[in-house]
Structure 1
Amino acid sequence: MRDRPERKGKDGVAVDALRMWIRQIAKSKILSHEEEIELAKRMEQGDQEAREKLINSNLRLVVSVALKYKNYGVPLADLIQEGNIGLIKAVEKFDYRKGYKFSTYAIWWIRQAILRALDNHARLVRVPSYVIAKVSKVDETIAKLGQKYGREPSVKEIADEIGMREAEVRDLLSIPSEPISIDTPVFGDEMSTVGDFIEDKGPSPEQQALGSIIRRERIDELLSVLTPKEKEIIKLRFGLAEEEEGEGKTLREIGERFNVTRERIRQIEAEALQKLKRWSETGEFQWLKDEV
């Protein structure tokens, strides 16, 4: 496999090296489905060269996915590094007999690896820029509505004004607009940092709120393989629906919403869960149960 991009700071050398690496992999030939199957068969026989070729031919896919998350507070090179790990896992678990095109299968693993890295990026209580933008919007709306009503607006009023879910507004209200490093010196003493004065009692409210936002995105990534109807039913059953987060619905309640029998809802739920398990190889599906 080709050397991975450097995991350095934002200096020009590292940036240039990353650009050169991206240009290099862009020249890689895109494999046909037949070629993917042939490589997978050779891998079963222990052919390492086939494994390397399948990985190298899909590195551009990692870059494509990583670019979508470049403003989430983690350097692009690090996102690509994590995405590469997801790609390697996809190569190891790919079963050509199921009929999936490898790139379609791999993109799920790549996204999960990147999202997990974002979720675990905790040494700096670092808020992604897109979340900071949302926090700023909420702050502006509070000021605007405060002048209009002569009082502090409610969460519902804020949500209605900017077209956002109440649950998300509550999360955003818990997040500071500026990140604070736990390595920041205090009292001008470089021997003592903010982290030294923090008792570790678990994640802070800010971390929990940020984690809640990223967790929703991970759930949406997982459920993206379902049809819209399957996705809505799973969200309602597991208490993941935006308007009723945390409160799972019964088969009867969901059936009434869709105007079908509870048995039909049970069948759709079973089919959807089976589809999720096939895509996530069962092991990855466990995290969703843990979240609920």
Structure 2
Amino acid sequence: MNGHAAPAPAGRPAHPASESRTADDVEAGIIALWHTYGESRKQGLRDRLVLHYAPLVKYVAGRVGTGLPAHVDVADLIQSGIFGLVDAIEKFEPERGLKFETYAMQRIRGAILDDLRSQDWVPRSVRSRARDVERALERLGASLQRTPTDRELAAELKIGLGELRELYAQLQLTSVVALDELIAAGRSTGGPGSSLAESLPDEGAEDPIASLVDQDSRRQLADAIAQLAERDRVVVTLYYFENLTLAEIGKVLGVTESRVCQLHTRAVLRLRTKLNEQLEA
């Protein structure tokens, strides 16, 4: 006997207890690796952690890449995300009680978005049109006391309904994970560029002020979502809270993926406008 468990016979599934032991062994190995890396900070140990958590980068890159123009290569997003993963490993503090995967996904996403913004791949004219749409939504919302329809918005912008929908497709470029930014709107904790982990309170001493700020931000977002048109509300819920892809949402709604992209862009623009109104109130 060599001390290793014999493999399951061909054609038979491994015993559940064996699978559980394997998972436990892997988890114990990662915990030990983190402990050793924390003491020595050796690059070789860090690289082993990078390899273990690399699937997180692919997952986040895929989520960010959904709805981006075809010329944006997911492989480039993954490359940017790797830098975010390395940064997360080097700055992670296990004693703060935060799960590493949660922390790392924020750093990975931030690295990808920083790289996208640095490329300035959104035309200036598109950004200008986005501002025009936001201002028109704000004007109509104030005068109608409700969310305007696409037809009303098109009339306000003096364009046709088809042209408005083409504009939605272009404006996808300006709203990469915009909901994440909206959730953070109005928070007083953390400065520019601060990470999620840097703004978290000590687990051993709850900060009631930070808790109230977070609850208020969530309430504002919930109120803004509740004011959306039903279809926009469904898209936001399925995309951000149920983690469905745009293609999957299209199957639920019985529309094409490109139409879901337009609905998503419209919903994000309307949410941004409503949250800005709440902050200014």
**Shorter-chain TM-score: what band?**
0.3 to 0.5
With normalisation by structure 1, the TM-score equals: 0.41
Q: Structure 1 or 2: larger helix share?
A: 2
